[in-house]
Chains A and B, each alone.
Chain A
Amino acid sequence: MNLIQSILDSASLRFLNQADETFWLPAQRSTYAGEVDALFYFILWLSVFFFSLIVGLMVYFVWKYRAREGHTSQPSPIHNTTLEVVWTIIPVLIVIVIFYMGFTGFMNIANPPQNAYEINVTGMKWKWLFTYPNGYVDEKLHVPVNRPIRLVMTSEDVIHSLYIPAFRMKMDVVPGRYHKIWFNANKEGEYDVYCAEYCGTSHSDMITKQWFMPRENSKSGSRMPRTSSPHCRLMRPERSSTSSVDVPAATQSTGRPTPARPSRICSATRSSSKMGQQWRWMRTISVNRYSIPRPRWSPAISR
């Protein structure tokens, strides 16, 4: 039965270290992912214990007291207050522990650190737009590794939800408000970014990519993200007559590499010496859509 298989598989418990993909959870790629997984496994094991307790007893009783010749139900107590109180108190205590662990973890997730590197995210019908401090706007999220990143997110039209499974991070984007969420990635790579709140026809197309520039070899220019990585299957949203997404050809957000699309060069060359002092981001912006003077931008509220 697949339940047993799941227990055996998750038996190879690898807590807290940067576990790769386990049976239950995707790879941990952000600092607090470890905590999330630890709590997940804690509750998982708790549930498996209680589950097997209840179902085991049930199966045992069904077998032992099955109706057969010469067997009638022996008289047994129909009420036992102490037993009732016991199995009310124990779950209450367990539940308080779970709540406490859940709450402390959440406080860590919900409050971005001060020195985070800030990116402004705008969700709109069926695609994400990431605006970097230097004004460069892109469909993909490029972030340095081992650096807390704070996303300040709002939406253009309906409620979307930025969801990056590898970081265990999700936050809704509501029009008219900005929400803050942060993460600190600890391994290079390329991860999916989904939209988790239903938002219309091509809700499932709002998949974009998240690239991590390896910091160590930044001197030699980071590896160029391939423009048409196999995973990046952004289907062109059907031109449904209703939604007035008028996507000019040149800046097509679809994954299919249209000839008109310039090869994306986003070499994150950072002046290697003074890390974080001067973040010269785009040495060469070939043809990107918006070269905008650095927007007047100071999120005053960053408690």
Chain B
Amino acid sequence: MAAVLVRTEHITPTQTIMGADAYNKMFTLHGAMMVFLFIIPGIPAALGNFVLPLMVGAKDVAFPRLNLTSWYLWIIGAVFAVASLLVGGFDTGWTFYTPYSTTTPFKGVIPIATGAFILGFSSIFTGLNFIVTIHKLRAPGMGWFQMPLFLWALYATAIIQILATPVLGITLLLLIVERALGVGIFDPALGGDPILFQHFFWFYSHPAVYIMIVPAMGVISELISVFSRKHIFSYRFIAYSSIAIAVFGFLVWGHHMFTSGQSSLMNMIFSALTFSVAIPSAIKAFNWVATMYKGCISLKTPMLYALSFLFLFAIGGLTGLFLGSLTTNVHLHDTYFVVAHFHYVMFGGTVIAFLGGLHYWWPKMTGKMYSDRQGQIACFLIFIGFNLTFFTQFIMGTHGMPRRYFKYSEQFTTLHVLSTVGTYVLLVGFLLVAYYLIDSLVRGPKAPSNPWGGASLEWQTTSPPPVENFSQPPIVGDPYDYGDLVYDPEIRGYRKLIKTGAA
């Protein structure tokens, strides 16, 4: 909603519906809320907590009470975030750059910093749970390479969560102490160094953007393989590329600071390392396309989301090349080009994959089917609205429209209006999705246990699964082998072809 307000504000070059401070708070709110409250916990916690035990064939995650603590920490973090609003909001941008964040007149900085600190713990506990579950609670006979790729993605995400989030914790702790007690670590007047804060912040935040995108890739690997009725292409390379992204993600945080006074030696090192991260994503994209070769592609809603993911993530990934090379980065840094780039990757990537995953596991979660027709319309709406909104921002960015600008020069007016129209189309798309998903809860037909013909373990139990997940221990096989699954019209789902020919 904050995003829609921000866009409406941009219809006219000068003030439209709110003052400068309000606008600054609005885009900071949009940034901080989306990052800390939605996208980081999004796929790992919302989908992962449900699907991981099923896919692994376990009764529950390794530490169920820790999982519960993680959920309550998320609630407390959200309460702190809302508290920061009541106290007066904060307008530092989600990056909290000092010395502005320690001297901004708005009091909301400390509550949101504590909120994000607590959410960090929630994220650590989720990651911790996933690693232990994947290591210790795999079903008998499920080796590391019989696991669905979504679990590899969650494993890679968990590694990042464990190794990066504590640095966010210490950064926010230092920020709070700096602002409250004037410790002077980042305050130039007391001998501190503001660029050091940027190092601290981005050391966490770049791996954090991979926390956001890697699970999305995991979901897409599942969707494309199931809906092309074809074994995923080169399972090991996709699995290893997930881990590679997780590890390389730690080496590249400097590319956020090319123009902020980093020494040119480090600029060179970080620019080189940044390109190393682009490779695994490229491999994944090629493998997904290769999976569809000679498949039997059924365009159901989850598949539509997967295809639009591929389209949008290709743009998002390739525009990263512009920002990775030093020369063009100088021109494009902190402009709308960057805004468009990360929205393409985060929105076009994570949110679209989240919707795809949601639609894919919705029958399994709720035991109700949603209407596929409405799903396809909604996906189309979101796709068009998204492109309209953010492709125009690429053009604005290259023309030098700086980021986080309340007022802008007239030459960008038409593009801003186009972008705002796109936002409204997106809004309609999302409302439609919300509508028919809730509607399916109320009036949806009963979902079969395997509506899409998936071969991983979660489809072997009833939907919604019983408390102990599996009534009888699941049969572990190759998660992408769809050989003996046949569509059974009367239950509108797939079931194993009983070799003995019994119906």
Contacts and interface: CB of A to CB of B under 8 A. Distances in A.
Direct contact of A and B (CB under 8 A): yes
Interface of A: 1-3, 6, 21, 23-26, 35-36, 39-40, 43-44, 46-47, 50-51, 54-55, 57-58, 61-62, 65-67, 71-81, 83-84, 87-88, 91-92, 95-96, 98-99, 101-103, 105-107, 109-111, 157-159, 161, 163, 165-166, 168-172, 174-177, 179, 192, 194-205, 207, 231, 233, 235, 238, 240, 242-243
Contact of B283 (A3, A25, A35, A88): A88
B321 interface: yes
B391 to A, nearest CB: 6
A26 B325 CA distance: 19
A243 B290 contact: no
**Which of A39, A57, A102 counts the most chain B CB atoms within 10 A?**
A102
A26 B400 contact: yes
Contact of A177 (B104, B261, B407): B261
B476 interface: no
A139 B368 CA distance: 65
Given A54-B310, A171-B259, A196-B335, A78 B296 contact: no
B286 A62 contact: no
Given A79-B235, A195-B402, A103 B271 contact: yes
29 contacts: A26-B399, A36-B330, A39-B328, A40-B331, A44-B322, A47-B319, A54-B285, A58-B307, A58-B311, A61-B297, A67-B298, A73-B228, A73-B229, A73-B295, A76-B230, A78-B233, A98-B321, A99-B275, A102-B329, A158-B100, A165-B331, A168-B331, A170-B330, A174-B195, A192-B409, A198-B403, A203-B24, A240-B21, A240-B105
A94 B279 CA distance: 10
A176 B194 CA distance: 9
Contact of A88 (B231, B271, B279): B279
Contact of B330 (A24, A168, A195): A168
A105 B327 contact: yes
Given A26-B399, A73-B230, A242 B105 contact: yes
Interface residues of A, dominant DSSP: mixed
Interface of B: 14, 19-21, 24, 91-93, 97, 99-100, 103-105, 188-189, 193-195, 228-237, 259-261, 264, 267-268, 271-272, 275, 278-279, 282-283, 285-287, 289-290, 292-299, 307, 310-311, 314-315, 318-319, 321-322, 324-331, 333-335, 387-388, 391-392, 395, 398-400, 402-409, 480, 482
Contacts of A198: 24, 92-93, 97, 100, 403-404
Contacts of A207: 409
Contacts of A62: 292, 297, 299, 307
A6 B315 CA distance: 14
A66 B404 contact: no
The 7 closest A-B pairs by CB, nearest first: A165-B400, A102-B325, A105-B327, A176-B188, A106-B326, A242-B105, A47-B318
A254 B28 CA distance: 27
Contacts of A65: 228, 292-297
A225 B482 CA distance: 74
Given A99-B275, A107-B264, A203-B404, 9 more contacts: A36-B327, A67-B229, A98-B321, A99-B271, A106-B268, A159-B100, A161-B260, A174-B195, A196-B403
